[in-house]
Structure 1
């Protein structure tokens, strides 16, 4: 029997070598082959090497909670004797829900990483609506600048503005839709944890959020990335930020700072295939971090807490450990949002992995109505990682209602199968990230998420339980019974809501309001609201 490789095999091949165009100011840049890795490495590294480590670090105010909107704004300082001690499961002995923490102990030495944020690890499930509402209602207002005789610093003015945003979002939480309006979009329904809070914070982001993009670094590793592969989020976000209205050229006006390197490009150009040697990659990120911290004052002012990086490559989380503070403090927007590998939802951002063949979304969107989907559930993918072997062992060629394949027969379209199916399985491979969740939403198929320790994209705003089905790995043998137990009425609701939230995962060129670019920015904006930075 003739077979072709599954979509998964093609994606693994893309991870080894990709050739993709990215639009850079009207010109298209083509990534070269990996054979020039070390030549490029020898060219780029001298541009960013520096001597010595970063300077002194200032005190930093953090807020943290069990929630994504932990805007507790009391000015209570915590003495070293009362500092929270983290336990093995990431929880804290201190009540982080009732006070804003001021780090009053001396800053660490420049060669050691800063202290952890000490927030309780989340399991990947979105916070319950009750916690969201209760936490907002308990927020105390931040001090408002009122002394006209004093000359306030830029960072104090920025923090005062962010305090007003937190207050306005809390007020919007309890307001009616007629008081929180938008000509393009009125988010409502159970797909959103709190529709009014989301819309208000989004509108405030559009009015106020300013991001400084560090200009250091040379293409293709910096200021560019893949736009037509499963790492398309990297290239699209980086290129959009270069020309975005959210970008400011004045770092003193910025609330956040973007480190515009592409992990996928670093791996493509610097990594020697099959060498298993990560040292050159980590050295590159480390040297870049040192260079930024030495040339600019902003990293040291916040110890990186108002800085962010973005990576869709599987190695992004590991490379973020290369420079002190990036892993511990910085906002990391990652496709591979795995809490067992250090992803912290309170400060990190989960973004979707989106495969864009040819860099375009053409012919990927849309599908038939629920009544025209004859297949109960579908999956096709290579056998790798801990979850998929279990899935194929129990369901490959076992039941006509459960269409599970490792390879599709020749002539069968993967996307056509998605459109014929009511449910589409999104199972972990080597890593938790996969384009299947977005592919399911694109085609109107209800995602069935089978992943451990995964934080779903934009789950700070979106309630994935309202438009997807989550099945624990241990329940894979009972997969069909679980899905058959979902009533037709509930299935139609899941499918309809998935179509409604699809706009948040669409890649537009140029970006449009509420699309995946703006949702990524909004999640970063929320994390920035959770940090208070003091002047040096």
Structure 2
């Protein structure tokens, strides 16, 4: 392994209640004498104010440009959003208020680093960007809303896993030791039982590794490429991390594609026979129909990227796990993604309405893929393809990050889950 380091769970406002106390924190009301509030109470007050602002925006879903005259960059609008007004207000509140503390414990490369290329690039890119400290990071843990545990499961697998071993105890035990260390040195983990802490992993083993720390698995925000509900992924507290295979380290040349009228293929997929879903796809469609072009391995004279850009629909079947870089590859190529899985929660689905720019096919309907896609009208397809082009900015990797791009959308997913959490505050 080469390491280059450098289903609808949502409300319209993206907020859900996730309460660890017996009663919701509703604000801070004084009775009689004025008292001094603790730092934790002030943190919760900021979140309470943000919740109120977002819910007001959600109720008033009609766009009013006068409310945002100070924003000269980008204003989300259109059907690709569940509630564009609520998302916009939430994003602005995040930019204004959100603070993240990054634990300094742990030594590189296992901690504070990660791969910036390869299929696991989003893990390393996020860790490295947080380490730079230019966005949202605070050096004062008392003012933080969430606490980031900067370990890389990808690097742990590289250094700690013995090929051929039947278990991953070395990785799980390292995570357990790490959480024990920060819980002994700081009060924040024990204060919330890990609920205002988050980890991030794009490796398939990320979810299982977190199970070595029960509170991490059950309480913490886990940002995972393997967003598999059948393996414990909880959309109310966990967030989906897009998987992006950065072969060269950037997305130069990957964005864009010809208009729909110049796309000659109905549907396309090429990839290894990883997992039972792909076996079902191959059994029915592998090199069997000129409209549904499915390959285990492309001929040497055919470019994978050109096939993506020449296709109207790009099939995105789960592999051994549900994560697949093909979802983002399709979006980059402006090809409508076809999600084939029974347990995958798409990225940023608190905010994005995936029905507007993708197709979901149940595993049992794999034999009906052609019928399903042919049944989509030309007008409907054009709307979906337009949505893919619109949503592209939210999956773009920029250096340095730009507003509303992949890095900021990951942060926003974490922000929403922290808003959903009401920590008990003594009064």
TM-score, normalising length: structure 1: 0.75
Q: Which moved more, 1:251-260 or 1:278-287?
A: 278-287
2:380 matched to which residue of 1?
Answer: 490
1:433 matched to which residue of 2?
Answer: 323
- Structural mapping, 1:70-219, within 5 Å: 70=15, 102-103=21-22, 142-145=26-29, 149-175=34-60, 176-181=63-68, 182-219=71-108
Q: How many residues align?
A: 417
- Structural mapping, 1:269-308, within 5 Å: 269-308=159-198
2:250 matched to which residue of 1?
Answer: 360
Q: Choose which of 437, 443, 450 in structure 1 pairs with 2:333.
A: 443
8 Å contact from structure 1 (residues 180, 199) kept in 2: no
The whole-number CA distance in structure 2 between the counterparts of 1:71 and 1:444 is: 32
The whole-number CA distance in structure 1 between the counterparts of 2:185 and 2:21 is: 27
1:321-379 Cα distance to aligned partner (Å, 9 max, x none): 11230001000000000000000000000111011012111111110000000011000
1:312 matched to which residue of 2?
Answer: 202
Q: CA deviation at 1:209?
A: 0.3
Q: CA deviation at 1:281?
A: 1.0
Q: CA deviation at 1:163?
A: 0.4
The whole-number CA distance in structure 2 between the counterparts of 1:179 and 1:272 is: 59
8 Å contact from structure 1 (residues 395, 404) kept in 2: yes
The whole-number CA distance in structure 2 between the counterparts of 1:201 and 1:368 is: 34
8 Å contact from structure 2 (residues 20, 423) kept in 1: no
1:296-320 Cα distance to aligned partner (Å, 9 max, x none): 0000000000000000000000011
1:19 matched to which residue of 2?
Answer: 3
SS of equivalent to 1:387: helix
8 Å contact from structure 2 (residues 20, 424) kept in 1: no
Q: CA deviation at 1:501?
A: 0.5
8 Å contact from structure 2 (residues 14, 351) kept in 1: no
SS of equivalent to 1:509: coil
The whole-number CA distance in structure 1 between the counterparts of 2:29 and 2:126 is: 35
Q: CA RMSD in A?
A: 1.8
SS of equivalent to 2:27: coil
Q: CA deviation at 1:223?
A: 0.3
Q: CA deviation at 1:177?
A: 2.6
1:384 matched to which residue of 2?
Answer: 274
1:328 matched to which residue of 2?
Answer: 218
The whole-number CA distance in structure 1 between the counterparts of 2:136 and 2:350 is: 21
The whole-number CA distance in structure 1 between the counterparts of 2:208 and 2:184 is: 23
1:380-402 Cα distance to aligned partner (Å, 9 max, x none): 01112011111111111211111
2:131 matched to which residue of 1?
Answer: 242
Q: Choose which of 293, 298, 303 in structure 2 pairs with 1:403.
A: 293
Q: CA deviation at 1:146?
A: 5.0
Larger Rg: 1
SS of equivalent to 1:157: helix
8 Å contact from structure 1 (residues 192, 463) kept in 2: yes
1:265-287 Cα distance to aligned partner (Å, 9 max, x none): 10011101112231111111110
The whole-number CA distance in structure 2 between the counterparts of 1:209 and 1:145 is: 23
Long gaps (5+) in structure 1? 1-16, 23-64, 73-95, 105-139
The whole-number CA distance in structure 1 between the counterparts of 2:10 and 2:125 is: 31
The whole-number CA distance in structure 2 between the counterparts of 1:144 and 1:194 is: 29
Long gaps (5+) in structure 2? none
Q: CA deviation at 1:180?
A: 3.9
1:240-282 Cα distance to aligned partner (Å, 9 max, x none): 1112330000000100000000010100111011122311111
8 Å contact from structure 2 (residues 25, 425) kept in 1: no
8 Å contact from structure 2 (residues 25, 422) kept in 1: no
In the TM superposition, structure 1's runs of 4+ consecutive aligned residues that sit over 6 Å from their partners are none
8 Å contact from structure 2 (residues 123, 201) kept in 1: yes
Q: CA deviation at 1:145?
A: 4.7
SS of equivalent to 1:333: strand
1:187-218 Cα distance to aligned partner (Å, 9 max, x none): 12111111011000100000000000000111
The whole-number CA distance in structure 2 between the counterparts of 1:400 and 1:377 is: 9
Q: CA deviation at 1:141?
A: 8.9
8 Å contact from structure 1 (residues 271, 278) kept in 2: yes
Q: Choose which of 228, 234, 238 in structure 1 pairs with 2:117.
A: 228
The whole-number CA distance in structure 2 between the counterparts of 1:476 and 1:337 is: 21
Cα pair distance change 1:296/1:465, threshold 3 Å: same
